[in-house]
Structure 1
Amino acid sequence: MRFVIRALLAMALVFPSAMAVSAEADANNNQQRPPETLGYVEWVVMKDTNLRLKARLDTGAKTSSLHAVNIEGFERDGEEWVSFQIPLGDHEDQPTEGELDHDDVILEFERPVERTVLIKRKGAPSQKRYVVMMDFCIAGTTHTTQFSLTDRGKFSYPALLGRRFMRDDNILIDSADSFMAEKECEYITLEELAKRHAENVVEETDTDS
């Protein structure tokens, strides 16, 4: 059985002004935060799903990047949105208790489009990429940054954190070491992800009936 778990950005629809105030407060806090040194590879946890991923911290990239497939733009209430999926079988970073295969779980997202970028590729057509805002935890602290969506299934790391995140959150990188974070972020197992999906399906069915 394959589990498709939806993670919709409901708060952006209900409390847009509150999110703007929160983002401004986070920016002010980041300016006061002392520098933190992390390794060139660290664990990150996406906040709305507790999905754990390996992330490469890359000073050569300005914008962060997140593995995604089936990326489709659409319009909602006159605004540009994008839907995408993260198949957990592509990297298998989520801890498991052995009851499920990573290939059995796919996360499904919908997000407002922050902007689009055109990526020029040598020997291949240029590629349009959607950029969305995502909350994630690294080294025990929650951050918000822009992620461009692209298929990173052939890369070692499903997430890449770029200079925009490092600048905004006062992060320094030790290029000679990895997994230097002293604090961990909360995450759940693959089986717990599937259980959460099953509970959400029951709640939606009860509400509709």
Structure 2
Amino acid sequence: MLSTFMKSIAAVLLFSPALLLANSHTDKNSVPEKLGFVEWVVMEETGLRLKARLDTGAKTSSLHAINVEPFKKGEEEWVSFQLPLADHKDQDDADGAEVDDVILEFNLPVERVVKIKRKGASSQRRYVVIMEFCIAGTSHKTEFSLADRGKFSYPALLGRRFMSDDNILIDSSDSFLAEKECEHKSLAELAESHAD
């Protein structure tokens, strides 16, 4: 029979948030991947590499986008948006790349529309799309809300929905812990491929 002390220890271990996250998946034998609070992600469609903050306080992921415009494609609601390369000059391979006028364009179906409450400002409607991306050498798919993140330090934010779906643990005290990298294009390569 377990002593009261042992029962208390067992209860603490059982309800530890990290263990709850690891045990919330269908594959009980999978080991959670440990990532830092900032990691590189690569948008699969373009090969663009972005810094992403992994944020346990946000449910839905978010992606920097400008000129977000809804449109109809048949009976479906779609959205067009742009990602300017000039906003991503913090990359290691950005030196000498002529990217100021290069803008990546996307057209994707709208998954849903969310209403975001902002402190000290009016509420904002954001379109949500599903996009594929690579992090730590592995491809994933998740929902991204589209917002102008030009004034933020990180153009992408990965939220809890991605982390819980893909068995991710976050070390909030460190960054760039991914052991594997994703293939990506340099800013110069992206600029060259989009030259007129």
| TM-score of the alignment, normalized to the shorter chain, above 0.5 | yes
Superposition deviation, residue 108 in structure 1: 0.6
- Is it true that 1:145 corresponds to 2:179 in the alignment? no
* 2:156 equivalent to 1:164: no
Q: Structure 2: how far apart are the matches of 1:97 and 1:145? A: 27
How many Å apart are 1:50 and its aligned residue? 0.4
- List structure 1 segments (4+ residues) > 2 angstroms apart after TM superposition: 30-34, 93-102, 194-198
Alignment length (residue pairs): 170
Structure 2 gaps, min length 5: 1-24
> Does residue 126 in structure 1 map to residue 123 in structure 2?
yes
More helix by share: 1
After superposition, residues 29-178 of structure 1 pair within 5 angstroms as 31-32=26-27, 33-96=30-93, 98-178=95-175
Q: How far, CA to CA, are the matches of 1:129 and 1:39 in structure 2?
A: 27
Which deviates more from structure 2 when the two are superposed, residues 57-66 or residues 99-108?
Answer: 99-108
Larger radius of gyration: 2
| Aligned partners of 2:128 and 2:146 also within 8 Å | yes
Among 160, 183, 187, the residue aligned to 2:184? 187
Q: Which moved more, 1:86-95 or 1:76-85?
A: 86-95
C-alpha separation in 2, matches of 1:89 and 1:195: 14
What secondary structure, in the 3-state scheme, does the structure 2 residue paired with 1:195 have?
helix
RMSD between aligned alpha carbons? 1.7
Deviations 1:87-126 (A, max 9, x none): 1212324454644333232111010000000011233221
Compared CA separation, residues 31 and 103, structure 1 to 2 (3 A)? farther
Residues 40, 98 of structure 1: alpha-carbon distance in 2 compared, 3 angstrom cutoff: closer
Bigger CA drift: 120-129 or 99-108? Answer: 99-108
**TM-score, normalisation: structure 2:** 0.81
Aligned partners of 2:92, 2:35: CA distance in 1, in Å? Answer: 22
Which deviates the most, 122-131 or 46-55?
Answer: 122-131
Q: Which whole-Å deviations, capped at 9, do the CAs of 1:137-189 have from their partners, x for residues lacking one?
A: 00000000000000000000000000000000000000111000000000111
Counterpart residue identity of residue 49, structure 1: T
State how far apart, in whole Å, the 2-side matches of 1:57 and 1:197 are: 30
User: Would the alpha carbon gap of residues 154 and 97 (structure 1) be closer, same or farther in structure 2, given more than 3 Å must change?
Assistant: closer
TM-score with structure 1 setting the length: 0.77
Deviates more, 1:119-128 or 1:87-96: 87-96
